[in-house]
């Protein structure tokens, strides 16, 4: 779908155990008060206007009707503002109420108020255009919409001016006249009609374009609203002509116009609240509170913003292990005394749930931090559970790694003990046996030499075991040398592709990679009926890739459980690709954290 | 022949000193770690250095690196490396710059005193001696890899293997049950197959071995 101005923000915002700031918070009470005051002001202003227009001769119903329209706008605006504080439609509707209120003043008998009314006479049309183009977010999106709305305001404010500046009128309508220039007034009127018509056409084009770009569900709501709004826009300047055409008497026309125009804000606010945009509004509220769904922990962000300290951190208390962790579950330390940072504990129902660390050089007084902590306590407690889960995951991962490292250390120790102990003993024993053979009578010599070669055979066997436990090449040089040594002993043509430097990898990664190659080759030789093998070990930035492949029978089913566990323990991944008849490929990726 | 020994295991060090002392050679120094080894060689300028590969202080390949430095140094001390495990990589490094006067043997070979001492003497005299196990390993690889050695007959490969172990033509002939002359004939065909230029025979012999093993 093309991203039209009415396309809405992503609907899927994950809400990670956060408490929405609904209900009667101090902020919402303050908003409610302000809106009540606003409504009261417009109510009183409207009553004053009514009182002032009643003495004016002419269609008094229409005069009062304008005030009714203004009230309708303000009422709808206040409702929208209260329900969707972060959506600008409410404010726009209230502004529309203001425009109608000012326009209504033209029907009083007070010259100054008449002048104000003359200036504002057509501003409701501009508000209506802006409403149409800003719905439902309240913001104008795209340069075209901004240009059209700008032109609308120019039409109603600037091009309106010649109509009162250059026309001679009797008192009390004379206040704004600066010259009697009917020609200029006519020119201004023409310009206003032309530009106004262009604005209306452009608005229709934009609205139709947006309707086409939106999905069906929303179009069902938006289409009647757009038609109604556009008709209202057109009706203001063209109403009289239309009435003439269909033979409507002026009184009926006035009633129809007033009802229609007063219905506009009601239609908009109904559309906003009930027309499928309610959810969008809520998500926008949530997103505003979260500061966007960009992945940064909402709690820390909200806290940092509330305190005005971008370095503020929220850490979570794990009662089981008596320590703090961050949102990722990694152990966290509270700032030490004298570090320039300080921390305030967050408690919920008398139990510690976390702490807020902040920059003590900016916030000398811990009380605002403690206050933020009290507000956030419930959210901190909820977030704490996630952090706890992550911490136990981190702990599990580390413990698996430690097990692998401990096993490797043990292997190294056994290999070293055998190398320094038993292997040396066998050399010396064989040496003694040979010396004995050299010394004894010839008839015993053969038996003594046999003893020596027997010891040599035992030594050969032991060498094989030591090699399997922890190969000398891995201990003395590293993965590249050990892999090469391994491949050298494969009794099949084996391609070796090595790209790494020994002495750069962590021991656990190195030995894991080695055992992958060793077991991969052993499996291939045992089961695959392969004709040739290939080994590839490549270290790139942060990763070691190990691949053992053969051209054998394939169809290998997980014979590598232990190896997969080992790979998983060091944070790597193992994939065995073994289609029947298509050879086997064992691929392992290990993180080497360089 | 004057020999310096490098071996960190005290019992084995004493065993080596004993064996070599009883075969008419002089052990003029026995080092327990790589720096001491370098110091003793500089001090005694021996005819031969016999050393373990894995030695303190690093307990990795310190003995090998010390020995290579001494062998490649101005004195070009002949070197025999001893190890519990043989690697083609070490053999390649040993043969890389100066493939004469070098040996690489399993520690267990010490027990066969007569052969061991004869191997040491050959290296001290500028020969090249490699353990049969590493030669077998390299030969197996050479057979598997499709290169110049594929052009050698099985008998020629066998002869080349014995050459790599440092055996004389007469000894090879005895092992294979043929005359020394037949062995010489095989060897010249090996040179031809490997494309070695007809220069000094000893040099060609070493080159053939090196080329064979480095593959």
How does strand B2-6 pair with strand B26-31?
parallel
Residue A569 is predicted with a pLDDT of 92
Tally of CB atoms within 10 A around B12: 22
pLDDT band at A433 (very low <50, low <70, confident <90, very high): very high
Q: Do B168 and B62 touch, CB atoms closer than 8 A?
A: no
Binary contact (A456, B108; C-beta < 8 A): yes
Residue A19 is predicted with a pLDDT of 35
Which positions in chain A touch B141 (Cβ < 8 Å)?
A: 488
What percentage of residues in chain B have a pLDDT greater than 70? 93
- Provide the sign of the torsion angle of the four alpha carbons B49, B52, B56, B62, taken in this order: positive
- CA distance linking residue A420 with residue A470, whole number of Å: 14
Residue A558 is predicted with a pLDDT of 62
Binary contact (A477, B53; C-beta < 8 A): no
Nearest beta carbon to residue A476 from set B11, B54, B110 = B54
Nearest beta carbon to residue B137 from set A452, A460, A489 = A489
Which positions in chain A touch B53 (Cβ < 8 Å)?
A: 476
For the ranges A252-256, A353-357, A439-443, the lowest mean pLDDT is seen at: A252-256
What value does the mean pLDDT of chain B take? 88
Tally of CB atoms within 10 A around A192: 21
Nearest beta carbon to residue B15 from set A431, A433, A452 = A431
B92 touches chain A (CB under 8 A): no
Asked whether residue A27 carries a pLDDT value surpassing 80, the answer given is: no
Residue A430 is predicted with a pLDDT of 95
Residue A240 is predicted with a pLDDT of 62
Asked whether residue A89 carries a pLDDT value surpassing 50, the answer given is: yes
Binary contact (A427, B111; C-beta < 8 A): yes
CA distance B92 to chain A (A): 12
Question: 3-class SS at A174?
Answer: coil
Segment B166-195 shows an average pLDDT of 88
pLDDT band at B72 (very low <50, low <70, confident <90, very high): very high
- The residue written with tokens 């005359």 in the block is B179
Binary contact (B85, A463; C-beta < 8 A): yes
- CA distance linking residue A49 with residue B162, whole number of Å: 120
Each residue's pLDDT tens digit, A189-247: 888 888 888 888 898 898 888 888 777 767 777 787 788 887 777 776 666 666 667 77
Which positions in chain B touch A437 (Cβ < 8 Å)?
A: none
Each residue's pLDDT tens digit, A507-552: 999 999 999 999 999 989 988 789 999 999 999 888 999 999 999 8
The residue ranking higher by pLDDT, A78 or B196, is A78
Asked whether residue A474 carries a pLDDT value surpassing 70, the answer given is: yes
CA distance B141 to chain A (A): 6
Nearest CA in chain A to B8: A420
Which positions in chain A touch B85 (Cβ < 8 Å)?
A: 463, 466-467, 471-473
Residue A292 is predicted with a pLDDT of 42
- CA distance linking residue A321 with residue A313, whole number of Å: 20
- Provide the sign of the torsion angle of the four alpha carbons A525, A527, A529, A532, taken in this order: negative
Nearest beta carbon to residue B9 from set A424, A463, A484 = A424
Interface A–B counts its CB contacts (< 8 A) at 84
Binary contact (A476, B108; C-beta < 8 A): no
* Tokens at A506, concatenated: 């962590």
Residue A7 is predicted with a pLDDT of 36
Binary contact (A428, B144; C-beta < 8 A): no
- List phi, psi (to 5°) of A354: 175, -165
pLDDT band at A20 (very low <50, low <70, confident <90, very high): very low
Segment A490-499 shows an average pLDDT of 91
B84 touches chain A (CB under 8 A): yes
Tally of CB atoms within 10 A around A495: 12
* Tokens at A267, concatenated: 């239609």
pLDDT band at A10 (very low <50, low <70, confident <90, very high): very low
The residue ranking higher by pLDDT, A99 or A218, is A99
Q: Can you give the length of chain B in residues?
A: 215
Which positions in chain B touch A472 (Cβ < 8 Å)?
A: 54, 83-85, 87
Each residue's pLDDT tens digit, A108-140: 888 888 888 888 888 888 898 898 888 877 778
- CA distance linking residue B6 with residue A86, whole number of Å: 82
Segment B122-151 shows an average pLDDT of 80
Nearest beta carbon to residue B12 from set A428, A460, A489 = A428
- CA distance linking residue B169 with residue A390, whole number of Å: 72
Residue B148 is predicted with a pLDDT of 60
Q: Is the peptide bond preceding residue A12 cis, with omega within 30 degrees of 0? A: no
Q: Is the pTM of this model over 0.80?
A: no
Nearest beta carbon to residue B84 from set A463, A481, A485 = A463
Binary contact (B140, A491; C-beta < 8 A): yes
Residue A293 is predicted with a pLDDT of 40
**CA A223 vs CA A132, A135, A227, A230, A268: distances in Å:** 11, 12, 6, 11, 12
Residue A290 is predicted with a pLDDT of 47
Segment B50-69 shows an average pLDDT of 95
Nearest CA in chain B to A489: B137
- At CB < 8 A and 24+ separation, what contacts does A91-94 make? A91/A138, A92/A127, A92/A130, A92/A131, A92/A134, A92/A138, A93/A131, A93/A265, A93/A268, A93/A269, A94/A38, A94/A42
The DSSP annotation for A519-532 comes to HHHHHHHHHS--S-
Segment A365-392 shows an average pLDDT of 84
Segment A32-45 shows an average pLDDT of 90
pLDDT band at A328 (very low <50, low <70, confident <90, very high): confident
Query: Around A265, how many Cα atoms within 13 Å sit in the side-chain half-sphere?
Result: 31
- CA distance linking residue A467 with residue A465, whole number of Å: 5
Query: Around A231, how many Cα atoms within 13 Å sit in the side-chain half-sphere?
Result: 16
pLDDT band at A463 (very low <50, low <70, confident <90, very high): very high
**CA A41 vs CA A71, A81, A98, A584: distances in Å:** 11, 16, 11, 81
A6's enclosing H/E stretch is none
B14 touches chain A (CB under 8 A): no
Which positions in chain B touch A434 (Cβ < 8 Å)?
A: 111-113
What value does the mean pLDDT of chain A take? 82
pLDDT band at B4 (very low <50, low <70, confident <90, very high): very high
CA distance B158 to chain A (A): 18
Q: Do A20 and A285 touch, CB atoms closer than 8 A?
A: yes
Tally of CB atoms within 10 A around B62: 23
Q: What are the residues of chain A with a beta carbon less than 8 Å away from any beta carbon of chain B?
A: 419-420, 423-424, 426-428, 430-431, 433-435, 438, 452, 455-456, 459-460, 463, 466-467, 471-473, 475-477, 481, 484-485, 488-489, 491-494
The residue ranking higher by pLDDT, A296 or B86, is B86
Binary contact (B85, A466; C-beta < 8 A): yes
Which positions in chain A touch B147 (Cβ < 8 Å)?
A: none
Binary contact (A427, B53; C-beta < 8 A): no
Residue A395 is predicted with a pLDDT of 87
**CA A483 vs CA A325, A468, A569, B20, B59: distances in Å:** 41, 13, 21, 36, 20
The DSSP annotation for A272-309 comes to HHHSS-HHHHHHHHHHHHHT-SSSS-HHHHHHHHHHT-
Nearest beta carbon to residue B144 from set A420, A423, A492 = A492
CA distance A458 to chain B (A): 10
CA distance A351 to chain B (A): 54
């Amino acid at each position: 779908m093309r991203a039209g101005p009415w396309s809405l923000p992503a609907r899927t915002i994950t809400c990670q155990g956060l408490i929405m700031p609904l209900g009667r918070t101090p902020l919402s009470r303050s908003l409610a008060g302000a809106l009540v005051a606003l409504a009261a002001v417009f109510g009183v202003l409207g009553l004053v206007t009514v009182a002032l227009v009643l003495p004016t001769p002419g269609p008094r119903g229409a005069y009062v009707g304008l005030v009714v329209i203004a009230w309708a706008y303000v009422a709808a605006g206040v409702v929208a503002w209260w329900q969707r504080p972060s959506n600008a439609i409410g404010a726009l509707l209230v502004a529309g109420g203001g425009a109608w209120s000012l326009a209504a003043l033209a029907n009083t008998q007070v010259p100054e108020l008449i002048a104000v009314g003359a200036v504002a006479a057509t501003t409701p049309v501009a508000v209506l255009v802006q409403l149409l183009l800003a719905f439902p977010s309240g913001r104008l999106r795209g340069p075209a919409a901004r240009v059209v709305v700008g032109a609308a305001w120019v039409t109603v404010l600037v091009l309106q001016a010649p109509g009162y500046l250059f026309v001679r009128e009797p008192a009390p309508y004379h206040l704004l006249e600066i010259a009697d220039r009917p020609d200029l007034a006519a020119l201004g009127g023409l310009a206003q009609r032309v530009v106004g018509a262009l604005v209306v056409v452009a608005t229709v084009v934009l609205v139709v374009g947006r309707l086409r770009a939106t999905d069906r569900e929303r179009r069902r709501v938006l289409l009647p609203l757009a038609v109604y709004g556009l008709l209202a826009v057109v009706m203001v300047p063209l109403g009289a002509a239309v009435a003439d055409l269909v033979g409507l008497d002026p009184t009926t026309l006035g009633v129809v116009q007033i009802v229609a125009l007063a219905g506009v804000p009601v239609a908009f606010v109904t559309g906003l609240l009930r027309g499928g945009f309610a959810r969008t509004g809520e998500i926008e509220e949530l997103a505003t509170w979260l500061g966007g769904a960009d992945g940064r922990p909402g709690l820390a962000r909200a806290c940092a913003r509330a305190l005005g300290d971008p370095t503020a951190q929220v850490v979570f208390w794990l009662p089981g292990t008596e320590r703090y962790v961050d949102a990722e579950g990694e152990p966290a330390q509270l700032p030490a005394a004298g570090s320039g940072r300080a921390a305030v504990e967050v408690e919920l129902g008398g139990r510690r749930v976390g702490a807020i660390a902040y920059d003590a050089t900016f916030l000398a007084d811990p009380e605002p931090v403690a206050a933020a902590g009290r507000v956030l306590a419930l959210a901190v407690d909820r977030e704490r559970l996630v952090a706890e889960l992550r911490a136990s995951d981190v702990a599990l991962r580390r413990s698996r790694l430690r097990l692998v490292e401990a096993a490797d250390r043990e292997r190294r120790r056994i290999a070293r003990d055998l190398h320094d102990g038993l292997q040396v003993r066998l050399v010396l024993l064989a040496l003694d046996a040979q010396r004995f053979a050299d010394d004894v009578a010839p008839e015993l010599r053969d038996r003594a030499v046999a003893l020596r070669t027997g010891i040599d055979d035992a030594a050969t066997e032991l060498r094989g075991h030591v090699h399997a436990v922890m190969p000398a090449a891995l201990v003395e040089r590293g993965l590249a040398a050990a892999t090469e040594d391994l491949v050298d002993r494969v009794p099949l043509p084996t391609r070796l592709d090595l790209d790494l430097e020994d002495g750069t990898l962590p021991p656990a990664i190195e030995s894991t990679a080695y055992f992958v190659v060793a077991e991969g080759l052993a499996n291939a030789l045992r089961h695959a009926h392969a004709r040739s093998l290939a080994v590839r070990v490549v270290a790139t930035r942060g990763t070691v890739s190990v691949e053992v492949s053969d051209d054998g029978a394939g169809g290998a089913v997980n014979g590598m459980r232990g190896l997969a566990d080992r790979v998983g323990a060091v944070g790597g991944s193992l994939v065995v690709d073994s289609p029947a008849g298509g050879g086997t490929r064992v691929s392992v990726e290990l993180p080497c954290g360089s | 022949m004057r020999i310096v020994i490098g071996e960190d295991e005290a019992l084995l060090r004493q065993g080596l000193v004993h064996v070599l002392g009883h075969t008419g050679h002089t052990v003029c120094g026995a080092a327990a770690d790589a720096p001491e080894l370098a110091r003793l060689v500089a001090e005694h300028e021996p005819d031969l250095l016999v050393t373990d590969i894995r030695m303190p202080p690093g307990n990795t390949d310190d003995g090998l690196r010390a020995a290579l430095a001494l062998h490649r140094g101005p004195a070009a001390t002949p070197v025999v490396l001893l190890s519990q495990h043989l690697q083609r990589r070490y053999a390649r490094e040993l043969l890389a710059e100066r493939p004469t006067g070098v040996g690489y043997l399993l520690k267990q070979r010490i027990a066969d005193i007569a052969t061991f001492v004869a191997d040491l003497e050959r290296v001290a005299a500028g020969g090249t001696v490699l353990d049969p196990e590493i030669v077998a390993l390299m030969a197996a690889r050479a057979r598997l890899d499709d290169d110049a050695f594929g052009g050698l007959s099985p008998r020629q490969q066998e002869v080349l293997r014995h050459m790599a172990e440092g055996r004389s033509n007469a000894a090879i002939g005895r092992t294979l049950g043929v005359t020394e002359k037949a062995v010489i004939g095989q060897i010249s065909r090996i040179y031809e197959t490997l494309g070695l230029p007809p220069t000094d025979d000893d040099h060609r012999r070493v080159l053939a071995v090196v080329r064979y093993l480095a593959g």
